[in-house]
Amino acid sequence: MVYAADEQRYEKLPYRRVSDSGLILPAVSFGLWRNLGDQMPLENSKKVILKAFDSGIFSFDNASNYGPSNGTAEETFGQVFRQDLKPYRDELVITTKAGYHMWPGPLGEFSGKKTLVAALDLSLQRMGLDYVDIFYAHRWDPNTRLEETARALDLIVKQGKALYVGVSNYNAEQTAAIAKIFETLGTPFIGNQVSYNMLNRTAESDGLLEVLDQNHAGLVAYGPLAEGLLTSKYLNDIPDDYPIHRTNAVLFENGKVDLIDKLNALNEIAQQRGQSLSQMALAWLLKDRRVASVVIGASNVAHLIDNLKFSDNLTFSGDELTTIESILSK
Ligand code: NDP
């Protein structure tokens, strides 16, 4: 059956401009890190991706190494794109990244020119695309001169393989340094994709939001639900084999019981707001206009639909914000 997108899709979800650029992102983007790769039946992945698009999510986030097996998330997205989404290419913001381990040998990771150029070529092939909308250097490279990374990203834009470039997992200082080079080169730098959620606020404390704002760029928040901690899943217990991302490991520093207490206190406020914890966690991030989009992951349609109800209540009273701060600062 030929897929036809829901005609009301742009009425369902807020979208926002990235700083004062021409790029507009849905408030929520959909990421394919480890939820729709080689371990999932294609039929399910297709359902989730198309449901996302029908719900107003027109940005899909990938990376060379996503899967779990390298490249398989991009292959999944590529299959759905070729079969169903191709007619909508001009509506879509498709993003990918390179820098984590992608192929054997020393050139299969980090941000040297050869690595970034080769990685993007492979990503384009896997997804069946001529270009991506944003190409990110996925992590800080301590050994490659920053100017080489910036020039490689600039070249990729000049070659027409990406419309905008970004960085990911750079701290405020690193972001300021590369933004300065981009400014000299005239490269369309659009933002930094970093871990940011109610429980992990490094993006606020290290000044990253200000640096991005000063550079006409936005923050794209990944892991907004802290890999599922900020949902109703872990209100009673967090299993010992819980797959925490390295950026959120610090959340366990006062022990599991303390974290579960915090989640329950947050959940209570969410309920008073008529929301689930995940819906409140998304709304909370989006109260800051410098957050251009939050990237969620889900492996089933039910989770996706549940989360998207966040937009029913986007405003926070002063009292709610104060209570949330007091819970989070305990
Ligand atoms: P989330 O914070 O959205 O967490 C996703 C997890 O939450 C999944 O385990 C999902 O479970 C669970 N979940 C989602 N909704 C619900 C719900 N309503 N009820 C219960 N559980 C729920 O994000 P991710 O950590 O997955 O990251 C999202 C995206 O961010 C990635 O796909 C990737 O694109 C990007 N990212 C970027 C990184 C970078 O270095 N730049 C690093 C990490 C992520 P289930 O799968 O069962 O639905």
Residue-level pLDDT at 162: 99
Q: Domain spanning 12-227+284-314 has what CATH number?
A: 3.20.20.100
pLDDT, tens digit, for every residue of 260-314? 999 999 999 999 999 999 999 999 999 999 999 999 999 999 999 999 999 999 9
- Model pTM score: 0.97
Residue-level pLDDT at 252: 86
pLDDT, tens digit, for every residue of 74-100? 999 999 999 999 999 999 999 999 999
Residue type, 70: N
d(CA 221, ligand 1 centre) in Å: 11
The response to whether residue 226 sits with its C-beta less than 6 Å from ligand 1 reads: yes
d(CA 261, ligand 1 centre) in Å: 22
Query: Locate tokens 């398989």: which residue?
Result: 72
Average pLDDT, the chain: 96
Residue-level pLDDT at 142: 98
SS3 137: strand
Atom of ligand 1 nearest to the CA of 243: 9
The response to whether residue 35 sits with its C-beta less than 6 Å from ligand 1 reads: yes
CB burial string 202-215: b at 16+ within 10 A, e below: ebeeeebbebbeeb
- Report which protein residue has its CA nearest ligand 1's atom 34: 31
Give the DSSP per-residue string, 148-172. Answer: HHHHHHHHHHHTTSEEEEEEES--H
Could you give the count of Cα atoms lying within 13 Å of 281 in the half-sphere of its Cβ?
33
Query: Is the Cβ–Cβ distance between 230 and 255 less than 8 Å?
Result: no
Give the DSSP per-residue string, 188-218. Answer: -EEEEEEE-BTTB-HHHHTTHHHHHHHTT-E
- Assess whether pLDDT exceeds 90 at residue 254: no
Could you give the count of Cα atoms lying within 13 Å of 212 in the half-sphere of its Cβ?
29
Residue-level pLDDT at 158: 98
pLDDT, tens digit, for every residue of 160-204? 999 999 999 999 999 999 999 999 999 999 999 999 999 999 999
d(CA 146, CA 110): 11
- Report which protein residue has its CA nearest ligand 1's atom 13: 228
Please give the torsion angle defined by the CA atoms of residues 114, 118, 123 and 128, in that order, rounded to the nearest 10 degrees.
140
The response to whether residue 310 sits with its C-beta less than 6 Å from ligand 1 reads: no
Residue-level pLDDT at 221: 98
CB burial string 276-303: b at 16+ within 10 A, e below: bbbbbbbbbbbeeebbbbbbbbbbeeeb
The residue to mutate among 45, 93, 110, 227, having the most atoms of ligand 1 within 8 angstroms of its beta carbon, is 227
Residue type, 163: L
Q: Cα dist. 283→18, 142, 295, 312 in Å?
A: 17, 35, 13, 9
pLDDT, tens digit, for every residue of 301-325? 999 999 999 999 999 999 999 999 9
Choice among 54-58, 121-125, 280-284, 299-303 with the minimum mean pLDDT: 299-303
Burial class (CB in 10 A: 0-12, 13-18, 19+), 240: exposed
pLDDT above 70 covers a percentage of the chain that reads 100
DSSP-derived secondary structure letter, 36:
S
Q: What is the band of 250 on the pLDDT scale with cuts at 50, 70, 90?
A: confident
- Compute the residue count for the chain: 330
Residue-level pLDDT at 1: 83
- Assess whether pLDDT exceeds 90 at residue 231: yes
The residue to mutate among 66, 96, 303, having the most atoms of ligand 1 within 8 angstroms of its beta carbon, is 303
